[in-house]
Amino acid sequence: MKHSPRSLPLSNSFAALPDDFYSRVAPTPFQSEAALIHVNRAAVELLELDPACAQDEDFVHIFSGRRRLEQGAPIAMRYAGHQFGHFVPQLGDGRAIMLGETTNSKGEKWEIQLKGSGMTPYSRMGDGRAVLRSTLREYLCSEAMHGLGIPTTRALCIIGSDDKVYREQIERGAVLTRLAPSHVRFGSLEYFYYRNKHEQLKQLIDYVIEQHFPALADAEQPVLALLHEVISRTARLMAQWQAVGFCHGVMNSDNMSILGLTLDYGPFGFLEGYNPRHVCNHSDHQGRYAYDQQPEIGLWNLACLAQTLLPFMSEEQAKDALNQYAGQYGRHYRQLMAAKLGFEIGDETIHTLVERLLQHMQLAQTDFTRLFRELCNVERDSDAPHDTLRNMFVDREGFDAWLSDYRAALRQSAKPDAERQALMKRTNPKYVLRNYMAQIAIDKAERERDYSEIDTLMQIMQRPFDEWPQLEHYADPPPDWAGEIEVSCSS
């Protein structure tokens, strides 16, 4: 059965928790007329909405916060967090309001959250608004990550306005409708732990287990089992980020999902010229969240989470759980990188090949995505130089030696060329959401109210492994001006 937004069956299990966990707050409508900027048809299907509903006035009014859903119980969630390594005891949804949750016919639960919908008790001197620029970036990237097969929040639509929002400059206001099975973060648990509110902390843990990990309720120690599960999910997520060259930019503990989702897209970026020390966030002056630091920061945040669970387990149990992270991350990463080279098993020989390749890439600042996609075309039985690949490197003789060893390894343990190459092209994306692409879409939307570039990028990013012959130029090297783009925490 297809629903209209007004008939969407809505509840709010989080709002059934005591008031300590949130504040009840209604969205603040735009002062100017709101208008639909873009709708994600894939997310429309997730919620089992009628595809035609986006054309209705109701759609714009509901997802801009002007019209309240009768079954909704809008709330702003409360949490704390470690930001750039420093604990901040009072954070929360400063510009996001959860309308409620719906469950589709597949049994999938989706919380519906309006981001940029006005002030809440947690806005901390802010205006509670989002700008079209940042909203568009999150909208596009959450779908791009889903297209890459990486766990992420999703986005339903962007509603825009002519309201002026003041950041570094005056910008147009917008609201993003974000979807996730849960928006609970590591910082949600930190909030109660550091206030010594262990009863509420246990309520939140029980809620997470009941709603999202019901099988853990039968474990001998459900809280310890939860920690192990979150560690496992986070280790895999970090490996997936690294394997596609994704940089999050602000890995604070309040931006870490208890479900292992990619959460809160701000100054993100995908690697272009390979530099393991790349920092995508212009505000991160110390490089805390550099690309090569992300796996370690994942563990650091998990240690923050484990700290909050100490009232319910011993320190030794928590340490033993955390000690599993490095091995899990390493196994996932090696396997993913082996698959990028066309191998089923990431043994030590393959790992050495990967490391040697990355060293050559770092020396030449080789484009991460283009390099691995071009590797899909290598023929294992050829001895000829591969000029397209060779020209991506400074030490070309060194790369020739690597390529010879790579072909030897392919002959020994990989599938026949045609089968392997097809698998590699389903592993190595041809397209990623480069910052310059998002910037072009932003410029067209802001200056010309032309949203056609959003259509094109959504089409490509939902199927980034396909060839898209008519859109081949989106796989080209970034233009020179792309290097001038700076993204920061305000992005």
For residue 21, give Cα distances in angstroms to 78, 84, 96, 261, 445: 6, 24, 15, 21, 37
Q: Is 127 annotated as a binding residue?
A: yes
Check whether 68 is labelled as a binding-site residue.
no
The answer to whether residues 237 and 294 touch, using CB atoms and an 8 Å cutoff, is no
Consecutive H or E run containing 74: none
**Reduced to 3 states, what is the DSSP secondary structure of residue 10?**
coil
255 is in an annotated binding site: yes
Let me know: does 301 contact 258? Beta carbons within 8 Å.
no
Q: Is 67 annotated as a binding residue?
A: no
Nearest-angstrom CA–CA distance, 322 and 46: 34
* Residues designated catalytic: 254
Contact of 117 with 97, CB cutoff 8 Å:
yes
- Pairing of β 269-270 and β 154-166: unpaired
Cα–Cα distance, 456 to 298 (Å, whole number):
33
The H-assigned helical ranges of 47-155 are 57-63, 132-147
User: Residue 215: is it exposed, middle or buried by C-beta count within 10 angstroms (0-12/13-18/19+)?
Assistant: exposed
How many contiguous H segments (helices) and E segments (strands) does the chain have? 16, 12
How far CA 341 is from CA of 97, 353, 362, in Å, comes to 43, 9, 17
CA 265 to chain centroid: 6
Which residues, 6 or more positions from 458, have their beta carbon under 8 angstroms from its beta carbon?
Answer: 38, 40, 140, 143
Whether residue 126 is annotated as binding a ligand: the answer is: no
Q: Give the integer Cα–Cα distance in Å for 243 and 38.
A: 30
Rounded CA Rg of the chain: 23
Q: Which residues contact 315 (CB under 8 A, 6 or more apart)?
A: none
Annotated binding residue 115 = yes
Angle at alpha carbon of residue 448, lines to 447 and 449, rounded to 5°: 105
- Show the 3-state SS of 321-359: HHCHHHHHHHHHHHHHHHHHCCCCCCCHHHHHHHHHHHH
DSSP sequence for 104-123: -TTS-EEEEEEETB---TT-
Residue 218, annotated as binding a ligand = no
CA–CA separation, 100 vs 483, rounded Å?
41
Residue 407 marked as a ligand binder? no
Residue numbering of the annotated binding site for Mg(2+): 255, 264
Q: Residues annotated in the binding site for ATP, as ranges?
A: 92, 94-95, 115, 127-128, 178, 185, 264
Binding residues, as ranges, are 92, 94-95, 115, 127-128, 178, 185, 255, 264
